[in-house]
Every structure is written in structure tokens, then in C-alpha cells.
Chains A and B, each alone.
Chain A
């Protein structure tokens, strides 16, 4: 129990210390150190789980099974990467006088608080606490989106908050209805909302109430995950959020929301069979992949491009989980893992390019970035290769696993559409990358970009690149064990 509690405690302490006034270096050390300790502790928690115990706390309100352990470790890893990249990112912004000390303190507290909320999402066994934790991620990220205080940041933050709160109101209604479906069966008190209890008593739940609850919960948490058609906040928020915060949303929130969707799906599966909620996930997943395709083809902004790529990837995961076959589930969870390991590279290299050119619009960055910022451009191309699912990288294998399982199952038509979209997405993404990275230097007189320097941000980007490439060929044994354990949870095991 203790390691689990400390895992949640570490980022909270980091956030509190982040508010205190201190010299810059100490604040940076606090942020990176605190998030590093958080990662170590969450690996410790996952180790406890792999060692055969089920870490839990507060009367089973927090409980770590295979799925929790996987999401926990991935979230903590992204937290550390984001914290480390923010050091260089903020130094660059500082040098231009873009960050006031107050904003700086805000940032130092919000990032660890966000990590805390993500970790709480991944270990809560209580549907009420799960909702509260997701709401917390939303409230924290509003300030991260509005960080730069431009007109467009406020627009993005407003849309994000209104849409996010609406989604969460739906998720709350879903939770209430799930609870109502077990009226008289679940009893009262805290334990009545425990996921383990709902799954154990699934057969006695009132089917119609449950179905309505599942629909609302899927729409609600689907909004947070950014599944189409509830994805519209994503491009705006990603464009405006500072890159370190963007990656927290693009990976952390995505994994967390998908985790919520899976928990709801598993209750519905135990009560009604896999077809109902599986069909919802499959449909929303396919729609997300299909919607992302045209928007990637016509995209005009680098970070919005990443946002639509994120809509695509969450669609792929939801589709894999919705197919219902064990192999597809494995593919989806493997996809989540590889996506988490690769996405930071894309965000960091794109963030550097945008920062050097002081804009993330294609028109401003212009063609031929390879000549002006060779390292960041090369790393961005590498990220594009990985993110589009090209062999020999991990996302290729996970996508192939899902496709293979899909064609073996009953939904071949859906999978065929999915495959066509993947091909189009691949072409579209590389069209955009080529347009940006290659080509002649623009002749028109316009503000020269800052020269690329190898600084702290560059070092972290490089490290993220190494992580993305190495993980494709060598996943640590423990991480793979966690993926398998998570698949067992989804397939109804312990």
C-alpha cells in the first residue's frame, strides 16, 4: 500500500514546492527531480504488481491491476519527459521575456498537479474518484492551454473548458446511471461505486439503465479522449498549449480517458456481452480515423497536424478494443504503449521548430526547415516515420496486429475502411512533412528564425528520439509483461 500512496504523493509535493519562490535552477531541479522520483515510485508499484500482489489503498478505492499498472507507468514516463523538456522550452521563452515569474510559478505547479491527476485516474478503482480525477486534469489543463494569454489561447481554453465540462457532465450522468442500475444490489457507501464490485455483480444490474449509463459515459470520456465527433477541442488546445503541456494532453489525457472508456466497457461487457459497448468503441474509433484523414490532408498548422494525428491514434486504439478479439486487444494496448513512447519525440521536435520560427503555422515556418534547423527537422521526420506506422517501428506492428485480428473477425468491412484511411493518412502526413521540411529556402524577406542551438530542450528531444527508436526493437521485459497483464484484465481475468 505504501508505495502506491507515495507514488501519488510525490507529484503533489513537487507541485507544492513549485509554488514557492526560488532561483530558477532550484525550481528546474525540483520539477525534474520530483517527476523522476514519481516515475521510479510508479515503476516500484508496477513491480509490486508483477511480483504477484495487488497494491491497493483506502479500502480498495485505489487498486492496481494489470491495466492500471500499464497506464500508471506510461503516464509517469510522459510526465518526466514533459518536465525535462519544459526546462529548455521555458529557458528559450525566458530569453525572449515571454514568461513572467507569476506564469512561471503557475507552470511549475500545474505540470506536477496534472501528473498527479493522471496517476490518480490510472489507479482509481472507484468510478466516483475516477470522474473527480478526470475533471481535475481538465481544470489544470485549461490554465496550461491559456498559458500564453494570446487571443487564440483564450479562445482555445474557453472551447476546451466548455466542451470538456460538458463531456464530463455526461460522464457524471453516466456514472450516476451505472450506479442507479445497481440499485438494491450494490448497497450504499463508498464501496458501491467500486469498479470491481460493479463487474462482479454485473449480471444483476438493470440492463436498460446500464445501457443508457454506458452511452453517456462513453460519450463523456470519449470527449476527453478526443474521439470524433467530440474531438473539436483538440486541434485548438494543442496549438495553443506550450509543447511540454501539449504532450501531457496528447498522451497522458488520451491514455487516461481511454482507460476510463475501457473500465466502462468492461462493466458493460460483463453485464450485456461484448457487442453493445464494443460496437460503440468500434464505431467511434472508425469515425475518428476517417475524420482525421481529410483534416490532415488540408492542414495549415504544425501542432494542429499533431492533434489530428492524435485523433487518428486514439481512433485506432478504440477500434482495436472494440473489435473484441484478444489479439486485437493486445494490438490496441501495444499501440497505446508505442504511441506513448513515440509521441513525445513528435511534440518536442515540432515544438522546437515552432519556437525557432515563433509560430506553428506552415506559412510562417515555411518550406526548407532542413536547411535552417537540421537537427530538429531530421528528428521531426523521424517522428513522422514512426507516427505514421512505418516499418520497422513499433506502431507498424501494433497496427498490423489489429488489422490481422480484424480481418479474421466479423467486422471485415469496417477494417477495410480503416486500412484505406491508414494509407491515405500516411500519404497526407508525408505530403505535409515534405512541404514543411524540404524545398527551397524562401526568398521573401521575413524575420529570420533563431539559429538552432544544442541546449537542454535539444538534449531532451534527442533522448526522446533514442527512446522512440530503441523501444521499437527492445521493449523491456517488465513493460511487455504489463501489456500482457492488461490484456488479461480486458479479457476478464484477474
Chain B
């Protein structure tokens, strides 16, 4: 039962990643990220009960609180303040983006079978999904122009890494996980501050305009 829940949530995370790729409204993309983080938290809770690892509950609470609620709220506030709500036409159009991501999912699943824990059961799906999400995050990062979308891509990659940690290990030691979460929060705040400064100076969040430095 729990096993099925884990697989369902992992699949849900993959779906949110696909929707993010096919999405242009920034606030929808941010909500999708929040949903993705909450699903990650649910995976952690389910694993805490199936494998009797109570410390995963704490990390689940951390994930849902910080990444499911706080970061999306902070990003929403950022785009509200600067008043930019839509991603402009990406470098690769949406249908081809989705097709490429389909290919990336196949690659992610193929690689996951080589790992120690990736052979069978729920772990196979969890690792497969997380590696696919990692590749899709990278893809988003190189094809999108808005600063906030790039932050979301980075955060998706980070969620993918946490999902690998859940699937392939028994979860990182709690102290380490706390430290990592703290760093992620600070990173998002720093990114937010930088977006403000960029918008102030350039009156745009289009990072493809950041192209003076060459050679």
C-alpha cells in the first residue's frame, strides 16, 4: 500500500516537472514547484512508515514547510513586486521541449537500473523518476530566459537530488540534511535579492540580456 503511494507520488513529481516544461505563466510554474515539494514530503512520510525510519518524518516536515510553502511564497512575492508574470518564448518551443523531455525520461530510467538500489521495487521507480527530473531541470535551465524560471529549474534539480537520496539511501543524516536545507533557503534568498537588483538595473528579468561579458 505504502509502496504504491511512494510510486504514485514520485510519478506525480515527474508530472509536475512535465507541466513546468509546458508552462509559460510564472505563477503556475511556482505553484507546480510547491506541489512537487509537497509530493516529495509525502514520499518521505510514506518511506518513514514502510521502512521504520522515524527521522525521515523530520526531514519531510522540513521539506513541506520550507520548499512546499515558504519558497513558493517568497518567489510569488518576488514576481508580484517586479510585476513580471509570463515567460517569453523559450529558445526551444513547447512541443519539441516535451518530446526532448520524454527522451530524457527514458535515459534517466535506463541509468537508474545500474545503481545499487535501483534494480527493483519502488526504489527503481523513485530513482528513475529523480534522474529524469534532474535531466529535465538541466534542460529547463538552458532553454529558458527568465531569471525566476532558472531558479525554479535549479530547485527542481535540487528536489531530484533529495529524491535520489530517499530512493537510494536511507536518507541523509539529519544534521547534514538540516545544513543542506538551510543552504538552499539562503541560496533562494540570495537569488531573490539578485533578481531584484537585476530588475532594478536592467528593467527586465530576461537573463539573455546579460551578455556583455565575453572572451
Contact = CB atoms under 8 A, between A and B. Distances in A.
A196 interface: no
B194 A139 contact: no
A142 interface: yes
A181 B169 CA distance: 8
B173 A190 contact: yes
Given A132-B180, A146-B194, A179 B158 contact: no
Most chain B CB neighbours (cut-off 10 Å) among A177, A208, A235, A239? A177
Interface stretch (B24-32, B71-79, B207-215): B207-215
Given A139-B183, A139-B187, A188-B173, A177 B168 contact: yes
Contacts of A158: 147, 194, 198, 207, 210
A39 B201 CA distance: 39
A169 B154 contact: yes
A179 B169 contact: yes
B1 interface: no
A190 B186 contact: no
Contact of B183 (A135, A156, A236): A135
A193 interface: yes
B197 A154 contact: yes
A176 B163 CA distance: 10
A142 B190 contact: yes
A467 interface: no
A235 B117 contact: no
A149 to B, nearest CB: 7
Given A190-B175, A209-B116, A132 B147 contact: no
What secondary structure prevails in chain B residues at the interface with A? helix
B99 interface: no
B157 A169 contact: yes
Given A142-B190, A209-B115, A304-B215, A169 B161 contact: yes
Contacts of A177: 115, 164, 168
B82 interface: no
B134 interface: yes
Contacts of A193: 172-173, 176
What secondary structure prevails in chain A residues at the interface with B? helix
Interface residues of B, number: 42
B154 A165 contact: yes
B198 A152 contact: no
Interface residues of A, number: 50
B114 A212 contact: yes
Contacts of A169: 154, 157-158, 161
A154 B172 contact: no
A183 B170 contact: yes
Contacts of A385: none
A129 B210 contact: no
Nearest to A233: B213
B194 A157 contact: yes
A129 B176 contact: yes
A132 B215 contact: no
Contact of B161 (A143, A151, A173): A173
28 contacts: A128-B175, A129-B179, A132-B180, A132-B183, A135-B187, A136-B183, A139-B183, A142-B194, A152-B213, A154-B194, A156-B213, A158-B194, A161-B187, A161-B191, A165-B154, A166-B141, A169-B158, A173-B164, A180-B164, A180-B165, A190-B175, A193-B172, A193-B173, A206-B115, A208-B116, A209-B116, A236-B213, A239-B213
Interface of A: 126, 128-129, 131-132, 135-136, 139, 142-143, 146, 149, 151-152, 154-159, 161-162, 165-166, 169, 172-173, 176-177, 179-181, 183, 188-190, 192-193, 206, 208-209, 212, 235-236, 239, 295, 298-300, 304
Interface of B: 111, 114-117, 134, 138, 141, 147, 150, 154, 157-158, 161, 164-165, 168-170, 172-173, 175-176, 179-180, 182-183, 186-187, 190-191, 194, 197-198, 201-202, 207, 210-213, 215
Given A131-B180, A188-B173, A190-B173, 19 more contacts: A128-B180, A129-B179, A132-B176, A132-B180, A139-B187, A142-B194, A149-B201, A155-B210, A157-B194, A158-B210, A162-B154, A172-B158, A177-B168, A179-B172, A180-B116, A180-B117, A180-B169, A212-B114, A304-B215
